[in-house]
Amino acid sequence: MTNRIFKAMLCTLALWASVCGAMQLNSQHAIVVKDGTKEVLYEKDQNAVVPIASLTKLMTAMVVLDSHPDMNAQITIQSEDVDTLKHSRSYVPVGTTLPRREILRLALMSSDNRAAAALARTFPGGHAGFVRAVEEKIRALKMTHTVIKEPTGLSPDNTSTASDLASMAIAASQYPDIVHITTDRSTSITMNGRARVVNNTNKLVGARGWDVLLSKTGFTNEAGRCLIMRIEQAGVRATVVLLNANAASSRTFDALTIRRLLSAPKTSTRVDAVAPRRR
C-alpha cells in the first residue's frame, strides 16, 4: 500500500513538473494569484513598471461607482471626449446621449475611449476631481508602483505592474456592476434610435470551457496586448494578469497555458517563469 501511494505521488509530481516546464508565456509580464489566500501561483517579471492601456478602465469604473452617481443620468458625448492621441475608433458618435449606465457598459465591454472620457468629464469636480479620486483609490489599494493620469489608458503615462494590477482586479471583482458588464459576451445598446450590438473585447468570455468571473483587455503599441481576468478552473479561482504580449493570439495562448496550470494536480504551487530554449 505504501509503495502504491509513493508511486502515485511520483506520478503526480511528474505531471506537475511537466506543466511547470511548459510555462513559457509570450506575455512579458504576468502573475496568477489564487483567490482567498492570495498565493502567487505563477509570476513573470511581476514588478516591472509598464504601460497598461485599457486595463485602466477598471480603475475608471471603480472610482465612478465609488462616487455613487445617478446611473440613469443622461450623458452626451462631446468633442472633448474624442481621442486625439491615438485616433482610436468609437461606437459612439459625438452628440449621442445615453444613460451613464450604458456609457459605463461601453467603456468596459467594448473598451470605448469616448465613453471612458465622458465618465471622467462628468465626474464630480470634472477631470481634475476624477484624477484625485484615482490617486486616492491607488493609495487605498496600496498600488505603490501605479500611476494613472487619465481614464482611457491611451496615454503611455498610465503605468503599473502585474502585481499591482492583480490587486486592482481583486478589488474590481467586489463591484457587481463591473463583474456583470465584463462577463457579458455581448449586449444591445440603442443609440440615436438605432440598436447596436456591442461585443466583449475578450473572446474567451462565454467561450466553451471558460468560466470568466471578471475581464478586461487592453492594447496600445506601447503596452502590447494586455489582459486581466478572474477565472475558475478545476475548482480553483484565480486572478490572471498578462502584460505586453505581441499579438492577441499570443495573449489567448498564454491564457490557455495558465488554465492548464490551474487544472494540474497541486502538490506544489508556485511556478516561476521558465526561460525559452535557445534555437
Look up the CATH number of the domain holding residue 135: 3.40.710.10
User: pLDDT truncated to tens, each residue of the chain (279 aa)?
Assistant: 444 543 443 343 334 444 444 578 999 999 999 998 999 999 999 999 999 999 999 999 999 999 999 999 999 999 999 999 999 999 899 999 999 999 999 999 999 999 999 999 999 999 999 999 999 999 999 999 999 999 999 999 999 999 999 999 999 999 999 999 999 999 999 999 999 999 999 999 999 999 999 999 999 999 999 999 999 999 999 999 999 999 999 999 999 999 999 988 654 445 555 444 333
Contact 62, 172 (CB under 8 A): yes
Residue 11 in any domain: the answer is no
So which residues are the catalytic ones?
Answer: 54, 57, 111
Residue 16 in any domain: the answer is no
Residue 2 in any domain: the answer is no
Q: pTM for this one?
A: 0.88
Residue found by looking up cell 503596452 in the block: 223
Residue 119 in any domain: the answer is yes
Residue 263 in any domain: the answer is yes
> Which of 207-242 are b and which e, b meaning 16 or more Cβ less than 10 Å from the residue's Cβ?
eeebebbbbbbbbbebbbbbbbbbbebeebbbbbbb
Residue 62 in any domain: the answer is yes
Residue 239 belongs to domain spanning: 24-272
Residue 53 in any domain: the answer is yes
Domain tally, the chain:
1
Residue 8 in any domain: the answer is no
Contact 96, 77 (CB under 8 A): yes
The phi, psi pair for 184, rounded to 5°, reads -85, 135
> Which of 65-96 are b and which e, b meaning 16 or more Cβ less than 10 Å from the residue's Cβ?
beeebeeeeebebeeebebeeeebebbbeeeb
Contact 22, 42 (CB under 8 A): no
